[in-house]
Amino acid sequence: MSTKIKILLVEDDRNITNFISTTLEGNDYKVTTALTGREGVSLAASFCPDVILLDLGLPDIDGYEVLRQVRAWSRVPIIIISARTKESEKVTALDLGADDYITKPFGTAELMARIRTSLRHSRPATPDHIYRALNLEINFEKRQVRLSGEDIHLTQIEYQLLTLLAENSGRVLTYGHIMNTIWGPYMDAGNQILRVNMANIRRKIEKNPAQPQYVFTEIGIGYRMLENENV
């Protein structure tokens, strides 16, 4: 029985499928390729992949439709691979349930890192309840945030926001997703309340808030927190 991690690649450009398949197989993944969206949806069910890499521009149904159809029944991590660089398109894909995206052209190291992050989030982690990276430590059970061993005092909202990002460290969360999770359906079109709270968090945890080490802005999309080292 093969225990290799299975990747489904939905992509119609054969140069890219050859490149990605060779790279992943060289890293001991098992790869199956779908050249159309419909084939992708069908293989998502029959091949039972651990991760799906999904292109948006496909010859029949587009990547968004594949995403909708697969998400109707599956929680499998889906990483968008796309040459489309419009922020609104990335946001749409993330809000439809994609876990992450990677923009073409991308390097092997970046692709492998995104796949590892997605796999980690799809599997229940050992219940350690600690986030640790560089000098920052969050203890979710004690509701304690420490920077270089010193307690950091956060408001309730700041704490919720930081832990939401920490629990999803390494992946981007859209402004819309964060707003909905923390503030509920109340919508502040400019995300002003989110920005103010993020600025406050950065003043407390970042050495230089203009060049953050822990929480990165993905302009026009959302925030991504530095990957948890404690896994």
Binding status of residue 39 toward Ca ion by CB under 5 A: no
Which three-class secondary structure state does DSSP give residue 9?
strand
Long-range contacts of 208-213 (CB under 8 A, 24+ apart): 213/134
Site for Ca ion, residues 179 to 198, rule: CB under 5 A: none
45: closest CA among 20, 71, 65, 19?
71
Q: For residues 62 and 167, which CB has a smaller minimum distance to Ca ion in the complex? A: 62
Binding test (CB under 5 A) with Ca ion, winner from 22, 57, 134, 187: 57
Residue 190 CB, nearest approach to Ca ion (Å): 34
Residue among 79, 56, 51, 77 at smallest CA distance from 66: 56
Q: Which stretch binds Ca ion (CB under 5 A): 8-16, 148-156, 194-202, 210-218?
A: 8-16
- The secondary structure of residue 123, as a DSSP letter, is S
**CB-based closest residue to Ca ion:** 57
Q: How many chain residues interact with Ca ion (CB under 5 A)?
A: 3
Nearest residue (CB) to Ca ion, 104 versus 195: 104
- The H-or-E segment that residue 146 falls in is strand 144-147
Q: Where does 154-221 show beta strands of DSSP type E?
A: 172-174, 215-218
Binding segment (CB under 5 A) for Ca ion, from list 54-62, 144-152, 202-210, 214-222 = 54-62
Q: Least Å distance between CB 80 and Ca ion?
A: 11
Q: Is 59 in the site for Ca ion (CB under 5 A)?
A: no
Q: Which backbone phi and psi does 12 adopt, to 5 degrees?
A: -100, -5
For Ca ion, the binding residues (CB under 5 A) are: 12, 55, 57
